[in-house]
Amino acid sequence: MLGMFCFWKSPSVGSTVCSVLTTTVTLHFNFLLSDFRNCSSSKFSSSGLNSFSKMSQKVDWAKYVAETEQNITNKLNTVEISSSEEEKKEKVKENDENAPEQFSPAEASLLAKIIRKGLVENKNSIEVQRKDPKSPLYSIKSFEALNLAPNLLKGVYGMGFNAPSKIQETALPTLLADPPQNLIAQSQSGTGKTAAFVLAMLSRVDVTQNYPQVLCLSPTYELAVQTGEVAAHMAKFCPEIEMKFAVRGEEVPIGTKLTEHIIIGTPGKVLDWSMKFRVFDLKKIKVFVLDEADVMIAQQGHQDQCIKIHKNLSTSCQMMFFSATYGQEVMEFAEHIVKNPIIVRLKREEESLDNIKQYYVRCSNHQEKYSAVTNIYGTVGVGQAIIFCHTRRTAAWLAERMTKDGHAVAVLSGDLTVEQRISVLDRFREGREKVLITTNVLARGIDVDQVTIVVNFDLPVDTSGKADCETYLHRIGRTGRFGKVGIAINLVDSEEAMNVCKTIEKHFNKKIHYLDAEDSDEIEKIGN
């Protein structure tokens, strides 16, 4: 996942270049230094490395990237985490196995990107708003229709994009229009939005001008890395385009003037480089991309930093603003950044529960819940199942019991490393484990076509203990897809849980039927 680190430009690649990155979470990447010194591409070059263009001619770029990604993935367990005393107190709560999983917006967004490795087409339709309703609105059905440079088009296809996704169909003609148009877009991970704005970034670069022309802001180091990975792969056949990271741990000597065409970074570092050290001129930026805007707002100080950066941009600079959600706070922020935009957002269409059979089972304790799960799983012809638990302790306990009884299960929880999470998801997608046991937060974004049954071992509730209907819909929406009939089983072990179940039933106006988990004949009927 992090193979693109090898293209990072650093003015001085020494033994301490990446030793400490002091972000919300401090990550130690000393193991990457040997990879930096052996880079084969000029995408993210380094003044401490010689003759990148010559090296790129000698090395099989694609093979190098694959090997580097595997090498880095194998070393991800060396990542160490440190934090302030205040953050440590929060981590104690987070790491409590009896507490619900808690993640920051940035962590949740990063995880969503990891989960959704490939393109996941969103089922919601696209809604477009523009200042002049009479102005023409274009969409495209193929990348050839965009008249891209041949090598850039080759890079797009090389990434596996055979045809534009729904959001790309509408957003790309706007992003690549001449004269440039500003865009505000709502998009989730996996919809192709990063590829859309990266394609626009690369298309706007004038390689005859050796100064930064494109600026892309992400709220955290890790999310900037994700964007950089996409950019490096898409620009694989465009060695003349150079990029640089502006993140913690990266420094530039005083008096330096950056010559890279694209800067991908975090607000604080970009503000320092542009306003304090003046290593590049914000007035010369032609394209400004603000990604993960809702996460940006959640990071203290980032909103003000973005506004300061924006104030120093040229009035002719093209603005691109992306956010997964568009609440009032996000829209107010967008109005500060983007003037006269075309707005592309997802229509809120309620997912249909018509293809999902919903049941509840009365239980007295965890043991009865476990018996219900095994009875149902052993009786119903199940492809793959996802079981949702409220805490890590419950998930671990359930996984241990099911494994002892001979079931092939996988567990996805917050105490796993990035490498372990990817491995768990890959094995489940490939069908090597038939049951995925997970906590609520980490399950968002999982799309596996073979899932036919979802079990709410614990019903979803908010922090006050009330029914979380949106999460319930998201959970059981993993099944009953593409016209198939899915099954949702809700295990109820208290009157409070029964009230939650009734609230959910009333909210969706869909009957949740009683199921006797001890009656094998009745269980068999639900699978027919």
Q: Give pLDDT tens digits for 347-390.
A: 654 445 777 889 999 999 999 999 999 888 777 666 788 999 98
Verify that 323 and 365 share a domain, yes or no. Answer: no
- End position of a domain, from candidates 87, 102, 117: 102
Verify that 396 and 333 share a domain, yes or no. Answer: no
- End position of a domain, from candidates 346, 374, 403: 346
Verify that 363 and 320 share a domain, yes or no. Answer: no
For 297, the token pair is 């707002």
User: Given this model, what pLDDT does residue 202 score?
Assistant: 98
Angle at the Cα of 139 from the Cα atoms of 341 and 231, rounded to 5 degrees: 75
Nearest to 351 by CA among 458, 475, 490, 442: 475
d(C-alpha 60, C-alpha 67), whole Å: 11
Q: Is residue 108 part of a domain?
A: no
Verify that 86 and 156 share a domain, yes or no. Answer: no
Q: Give pLDDT tens digits for 303-355.
A: 899 999 999 999 999 999 988 777 788 888 888 789 889 988 766 544 457 77
Q: Is residue 121 part of a domain?
A: no
Nearest to 260 by CA among 237, 285, 277: 285
The CATH number of whichever domain residue 421 belongs to comes to 3.40.50.300
Instruction: Give 253 or 35, the one with higher predicted confidence.
Output: 253
Verify that 337 and 365 share a domain, yes or no. Answer: no
Verify that 302 and 408 share a domain, yes or no. Answer: no
Helix (H), strand (E) at residue 128? strand 126-129
Verify that 318 and 364 share a domain, yes or no. Answer: no
d(C-alpha 69, C-alpha 263), whole Å: 22
Helix (H), strand (E) at residue 100? none
Instruction: Give 121 or 160, the one with higher predicted confidence.
Output: 160
| Furthest CA-CA distance within the chain | 79
Q: Is residue 522 part of a domain?
A: yes
- β-strand 126-129 against 342-346: which pairing, if any? antiparallel
* Span 279-299, average pLDDT: 89
Question: How many domains are contained in the chain?
Answer: 3
Nearest to 236 by CA among 196, 193, 199, 191: 199
Angle at the Cα of 262 from the Cα atoms of 216 and 256, rounded to 5 degrees: 110
Verify that 206 and 336 share a domain, yes or no. Answer: yes
- DSSP-derived 3-state class of residue 416: coil
Q: Is residue 119 part of a domain?
A: no
Nearest to 435 by CA among 446, 422, 451, 449: 451
φ, ψ (nearest 5 deg) of residue 21:
-115, 105
φ, ψ (nearest 5 deg) of residue 511:
-65, 130
Check: CB of residue 370 under 8 Å from CB of residue 414. Answer: no
Nearest to 31 by CA among 15, 42, 46: 15
* Most trustworthy range by pLDDT among 46-60, 63-77, 321-335, 488-502: 488-502
User: Given this model, what pLDDT does residue 38 score?
Assistant: 35
User: Given this model, what pLDDT does residue 189 score?
Assistant: 59
Instruction: Give 386 or 202, the one with higher predicted confidence.
Output: 202
223-226 — which CB contacts under 8 Å span 24+ positions? 223/106, 223/109, 223/110, 223/113, 223/291, 223/292, 223/295, 224/264, 224/265, 224/266, 225/2, 225/4, 225/5, 226/110, 226/113, 226/194
The type of residue at 28 is: H
* pTM exceeding 0.85: no
Verify that 456 and 327 share a domain, yes or no. Answer: no
d(C-alpha 290, C-alpha 318), whole Å: 11
Mean pLDDT over the full length of the chain = 75
In the predicted model, is pLDDT for residue 462 greater than 50?
A: yes
For 352, the token pair is 């249909």
- β-strand 318-323 against 287-290: which pairing, if any? parallel
Verify that 26 and 153 share a domain, yes or no. Answer: no
User: Given this model, what pLDDT does residue 24 score?
Assistant: 30
Verify that 437 and 341 share a domain, yes or no. Answer: no
Q: Is residue 286 part of a domain?
A: yes
Q: Is residue 97 part of a domain?
A: yes
83-92 — which CB contacts under 8 Å span 24+ positions? 83/24, 83/25, 83/26, 87/24
Q: Is residue 109 part of a domain?
A: no
Whether the ω angle into residue 180 lies within 30 degrees of 0, i.e. cis, is: no
Range of the domain at 361: 356-526
Verify that 39 and 179 share a domain, yes or no. Answer: no
Q: Is residue 114 part of a domain?
A: no
Q: Give pLDDT tens digits for 467-502.
A: 988 788 878 876 665 456 788 999 999 999 999 999
User: Given this model, what pLDDT does residue 237 score?
Assistant: 97
In the predicted model, is pLDDT for residue 151 greater than 90?
A: yes
- β-strand 384-389 against 262-265: which pairing, if any? unpaired
